[in-house]
Amino acid sequence: MASTNKQIVRRPINNLALPSLHNKLLKRIYTARGITDAEQLEYSLSKLLPYDSLSGIKTAVSILVDALKQQQRLLIVADFDADGATSCAMMKRALTMMGAQHVDYLVPNRFSYGYGLTPEIVALALEKSPDLIITVDNGISSVDGVAAAKQAGVKVIVTDHHLPAKQLPDADAIVNPNQEGDEFPAKSTAGVGVAFYVMLALRAELRHQQWFETKAIAEPNLGSLLDIVALGTVADVVPLEQNNRIFVSQGLARVRKGQCCKGIEALLRVAGRNQTQCVASDFGFTVGPRLNAAGRLEDMSLGIECLLTDDPVRALDLAKQLDSLNKQRREIETDMRQQAFKALDKLELADEQPVGVCLYDASWHQGVIGILASRVKEQLHRPVIAFAPGEEAGTIKGSARSIPGLHIRDVLDAVAASHPALISKFGGHAMAAGLSLPAENLSLFSQAFDEQVRQLVSDQDLQGVILSDGELPTNELSLDFAEKLRQAGPWGQGFPEPVFDGDFEIVSKRVLGEKHLKLMLRIPDSDGCIDAIAFNVTDEGWAENTRHVRIAYRLDVNEFNGRKSAQLMVEQIEPSVVNYKALK
C-alpha cells in the first residue's frame, strides 16, 4: 500500500487584533490556532481553572482526609504508560508531603494482567493490605475490579480521564471530567492533571481544617510537582488547550530553572538535551518515549522509581536503564514496521486496500503495537489497528490510532453494537484506543471495522494534509525568530508548532546513515544559506538536474559544540526542476 506525499494546505489568514503582540507573524500564527484574546496566552497559575466543578472531587477529598487522619494504608494503582507513571509519582509525592505515612503503589504488568483495576490486580493489591485504593489514569471501566475491592472491604477512589462506558464502577468516588454531567470545562485534561487537581483540593481542605499547623507540617508547594504534571500531559498527547498549556508552561519553566525532579534531569541528560533550553517537544520525543519504554518492554515501576528518587546518582542509573530499553524498543519497532509494510504491499498487489487497516503478526510485541499503529497511520493517513498475541491463549490485543475527524473509540463502540460477540473489551479516546478479542474473530472484525470506517470518512479525509502557516519571510529565516518561536509555545497536540512552506535552491546535499537527507539551502532573495534535515527521507529517485525543492518545515534552533544556529526541520520535501513559488 504505497504512501503518497501529503498535500500542503495553507491556514487561512485571520487579521484579528492581538494588540499586546508586536510581531505580525506571531499574531497570524496564534489567530490560526484559535487565539482571539491575549489572555489566552497567559500561563500564570492564577489562570488555572478551579477544581470545584469536577464531579466527585469533594467526596474524594473527604475520603482522603479521613484516610490521612487515621493514617490508613493508601495504594495507588497506575496505568503502565507515561501518563500513568507521572500520575503515580506525582500523587505519591504529594500525599507524602501532606503527611501520609503509608503510601505505596502498584502498576500492572501489561503482559501478565492487562490494563486497569482488574479483579486479578485487586487480588495482588490485597497482599499489601490497603485500606484505600486510588486509581490514576485508569479505573473508569474497571467495574469488576472495583466490585472485587469493595467486596474485600477496601474503599476505592477512581481518578481518570478516559471516556466512560454506559456502566460506571461502584467506586466510593469518581473524579473524571469526561463522566456524564461533569461541568469541568477542560475535558482534555490528562490523567496526571486530574490527579493533580485532586491533590490541590485535598491541600485546600487540609488547610481549612488547620491540618498542617496541628501536625507541624510545612504546607506543601504543589507547584513543585508541575514538572511531572507537564511531562505526563505532553507524553499522553492530549490537546493543549489553555489549561493544559498552563500545566506545561509552568512545568517547563521549572525544568529550565533546574527546579525539577532528579529523574527528569537524568532523562534529559541521557537523551542529550539541554535542560536550560527544554521545550515541550523534548518531553514528547525524548523523555516520554524513554519513560514509556519501561511499560512497553518490562515494568513501569522502573520509570516511576526514576521520577520518585531524589538521589541524582540513582536517578541517572535508572535513566540509563530506561534509555537502554528505549533502544531495544526502537529495534523491535523497526522489525515490526518492515513486516507491516510487507503485508500492506501484498494487500495492494491483491487489490484489497482497506480504509480501516487491521494488521496482525504472531511474533509482534504487545508493548510496541501502539507505536507501530501510529507509524503506519502516519504513512497511509487512514485509521490503523495493530494486533499482537494477548495474555490468554487464543486472544489478541489491538492498539488503534485514528486520523483527524474520526473518533476511533466511537467506531469500536459501533462495531461492538452491531456485532455483540466480536470484541471482548475496548476503551480509549478519539485518536487512540485499545481492544482485545478472540484471535478467531480477527477476520470478521477487520471486515466490520473497515465497513464502519468507510461509512464515516470521505476520500478527502484520507488525503494526508500538512497545514502550513505560509511562506516565511526571508528576514525571519533566522536564529532570532527561531528562538522566538521556541518561547512562543508550548506547542503540541491541538496547538501545533508552526509549519511553513516554500521553494529553496539546493546548495549541497548528502545522505546521513543511509536514511536521512541533510541539505544546505539558499535563502530566497538572499545570498545567505540555511541548514535543513529531512529524517527518514533520501534523494533516491530524484532527477539528476534537481536544483530546487519545495519543502514544508519547522524552524528550529540547532545546538552543536556550544554554537546555536537556525535549522529547518523538514516535514515534507519534493523536488522541483523549475523554481516554484507557492500562491499567496
Q: What is the mean pLDDT of residues 351-360?
A: 86
Q: Would you call 388 helix, strand, or coil by DSSP? A: strand
- pLDDT, residue 20, reads 61
Q: Would you call 475 helix, strand, or coil by DSSP? A: helix
The three-state DSSP-derived secondary structure of 290-348 is: HHHHHHHHCCCHHHHHHHHCCCHHHHHHHHHHHHHHHHHHHHHHHHHHHHHHHHHHHHH
DSSP letters spanning 44-90: -GGGSPPSTTSTTHHHHHHHHHHHHHTT--EEEEE-SSHHHHHHHHH
- pLDDT, residue 1, reads 44
Cell of 188: 482534555
Q: What is the mean pLDDT of residues 278-296?
A: 95
Give the pLDDT confidence of 56-68 residue by residue, as tens digits: 999 999 999 999 9
- 170 confidence band (pLDDT: 50, 70, 90): very high
Residues 6+ apart with CB under 8 A from 147: 119, 169, 170
- pLDDT, residue 540, reads 87
Q: Is the pLDDT confidence value at 163 over 80?
A: yes
Percent of the chain with pLDDT over 90: 79
Q: Is the pLDDT confidence value at 584 over 70?
A: no
- 582 confidence band (pLDDT: 50, 70, 90): very low
Question: CA–CA distance from 309 to each of 304, 312, 410, 467 (Å)?
Answer: 9, 8, 40, 41
Q: What is the mean pLDDT of residues 36-58?
A: 95
Q: Is the pLDDT confidence value at 431 over 90?
A: no
Q: Across the chain, what does the average pLDDT equal?
A: 92
Percent of the chain with pLDDT over 70: 95
Lowest mean pLDDT among 5-14, 195-204, 303-312, 559-568: 5-14
* Rounded CA separation 177/189 (Å): 8
Give the pLDDT confidence of 78-106 residue by residue, as tens digits: 998 999 999 999 999 999 999 999 999 99
- pLDDT, residue 22, reads 62
Largest distance between two CA atoms of the chain: 79
- pLDDT, residue 12, reads 84
Give the pLDDT confidence of 511-538 residue by residue, as tens digits: 998 789 999 999 988 889 999 999 988 8
- pLDDT, residue 17, reads 61
Give the pLDDT confidence of 295-306 residue by residue, as tens digits: 888 889 999 999
DSSP letters spanning 221-249: -GGGGHHHHHHHHHHTT----HHHHHHHH
Alpha carbon 33 to chain centroid, angstroms? 19
Q: What is the mean pLDDT of residues 561-572?
A: 92
Contact 211, 107 (CB under 8 A): no
- pLDDT, residue 527, reads 85
Report the number of secondary-structure helices (H) and strands (E) in the chain.
18, 17
Question: CA–CA distance from 431 to each of 383, 405, 412 (Å)?
Answer: 9, 9, 12
- 463 confidence band (pLDDT: 50, 70, 90): confident
Lowest mean pLDDT among 141-145, 458-462, 501-505: 458-462
Alpha carbon 35 to chain centroid, angstroms? 22
Q: DSSP H helical segments within 236-283, as ranges?
A: 242-256, 262-270, 280-282
Q: What is the mean pLDDT of residues 474-493?
A: 94
For the chain, list the domains and their CATH numbers: 7-11+465-576 (2.40.50.460), 45-323 (3.90.1640.30), 336-456 (3.10.310.30)
- pLDDT, residue 2, reads 43
Q: What is the mean pLDDT of residues 304-333?
A: 97
Q: What is the mean pLDDT of residues 30-55?
A: 94
Contact 110, 295 (CB under 8 A): yes
Most confident of 62-76, 114-128, 430-444: 62-76
CA geometry: angle 60, 232, 183, nearest 5 deg: 45
- pLDDT, residue 21, reads 62
Q: What is the mean pLDDT of residues 121-145?
A: 96
Q: What is the mean pLDDT of residues 140-162?
A: 96
Residues 6+ apart with CB under 8 A from 276: 256, 258
Contact 350, 315 (CB under 8 A): no
pTM of this prediction? 0.91
- 204 confidence band (pLDDT: 50, 70, 90): very high
- pLDDT, residue 346, reads 79
